[in-house]
């Protein structure tokens, strides 16, 4: 039964994100232990029903958002229950698939560039995994704030990252970014220690200018934290959270075409396992989305 402060959303599309498949491999976060478990947090859809205490939305409103993260949401479904402040109105002029691709990765980049460090025009910003879900949106957000943006990716995705507005693109498979870059103001790292044995946090430390900030989107080891402390460089740890105010600003950018989620592949809801296999394999650009018939 719907609570008075909740809305029921008829889901039209659900975004696929790394935490979705990680809940299958190990508790993420630790309170996910009971089966059966329905993954997913990012949705776009239509309000089917609104509780009596809900003033922000009414039945028929098109909404999108990141529901209840990091707690259970079960967004891979035809219907999902959410709190209104986890949602915003769907950006005008884009469809539900595009909208579902935005919440978690766009909020991750937005909060990194707002809560940990504010980007100033002219600053040099390095975005690792610049063709990924968070990375390709982070490049666009950093450029919109006047930064000089450098992205790391593989050679096959160089043109894509350039098309996002990046001023420089480094092929991480052939070039060590820590040997060719310097005086970086901000590093956004969604790779961390997962870069096939390559320590991205420690290598990023080498390129930061005095006063620069490393944003650890994928965590940082105690040893690397100590290295940052010894070098007098700042690092920031964070976890994305629902934020309807930021989501509304993201929606405005998306409606104006200033922030575009690139959707590489769309899968029917029944093929969620195939979407997870593609995401774990890493052979895609931007985002994967599930389409929910309705």
44 sits in the region (left: phi over 0; alpha: psi -120 to 50; else beta) called: beta
For 158-174, what is the mean pLDDT? Answer: 97
Tell me the pLDDT of the chain averaged across its residues. 94
Fold designation for 7-102+261-291? Quinone Oxidoreductase; Chain A, domain 1 (3.90.180)
CATH 3.40.50.720 placement within the chain: 104-237
- Model pLDDT for residues 99-114, shown as the tens digit of each residue: 999 999 999 999 999 9
CATH 3.90.180.10 placement within the chain: 7-102+261-291
- Model pLDDT for residues 125-148, shown as the tens digit of each residue: 999 999 999 999 999 999 999 999
Fold designation for 104-237? Rossmann fold (3.40.50)
The C-alpha atoms of residue 67 and residue 87 are separated, in whole angstroms, by 7
If you write DSSP's letter for every residue of 114-148 in order, what string do you get?
III----TT-EEEESSTTSHHHHHHHHHHHHTT-E
- Model pLDDT for residues 21-76, shown as the tens digit of each residue: 888 776 666 666 677 889 999 999 999 999 999 999 999 999 999 999 999 899 99
């Amino acid at each position: 039964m719907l609570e008075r402060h909740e809305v029921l959303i008829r889901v039209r599309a659900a975004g696929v994100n790394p935490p979705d498949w990680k809940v299958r491999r190990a508790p993420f976060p630790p309170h996910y232990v009971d089966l059966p478990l329905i993954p997913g947090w990012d949705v776009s859809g239509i309000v089917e029903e609104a509780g009596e205490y809900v003033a922000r939305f009414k039945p028929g409103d098109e909404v999108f958002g990141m529901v209840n993260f990091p707690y259970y949401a079960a967004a891979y479904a035809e219907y999902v229950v959410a709190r209104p402040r986890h949602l915003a109105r769907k950006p005008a002029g884009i469809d539900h698939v595009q909208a579902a691709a935005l919440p978690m990765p766009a909020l991750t980049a937005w909060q990194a560039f707002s809560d940990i460090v504010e980007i100033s025009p002219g600053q040099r910003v390095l975005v690792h995994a610049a063709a990924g879900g968070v990375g390709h949106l982070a490049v666009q957000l950093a450029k919109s704030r006047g930064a000089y943006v450098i992205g790391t990716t593989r050679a096959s995705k160089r043109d894509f990252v350039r098309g996002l507005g990046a001023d420089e693109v480094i092929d991480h498979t052939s070039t060590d970014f820590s040997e060719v870059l310097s005086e970086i103001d901000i590093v956004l790292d969604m790779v961390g220690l997962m870069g096939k044995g390559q320590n991205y946090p420690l290598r990023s430390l080498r390129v930061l200018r005095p006063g620069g900030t490393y944003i650890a989107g994928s965590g940082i080891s105690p040893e690397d934290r100590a290295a940052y402390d010894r070098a007098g460089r700042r690092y920031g740890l964070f976890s994305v959270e629902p934020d309807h105010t930021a989501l509304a600003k993201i929606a405005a950018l998306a409606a104006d075409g200033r922030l575009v989620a690139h959707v590489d592949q769309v899968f029917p809801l029944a093929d969620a396992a195939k979407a997870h296999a593609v995401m774990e394999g890493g052979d895609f650009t931007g985002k994967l989305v599930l389409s929910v018939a309705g």
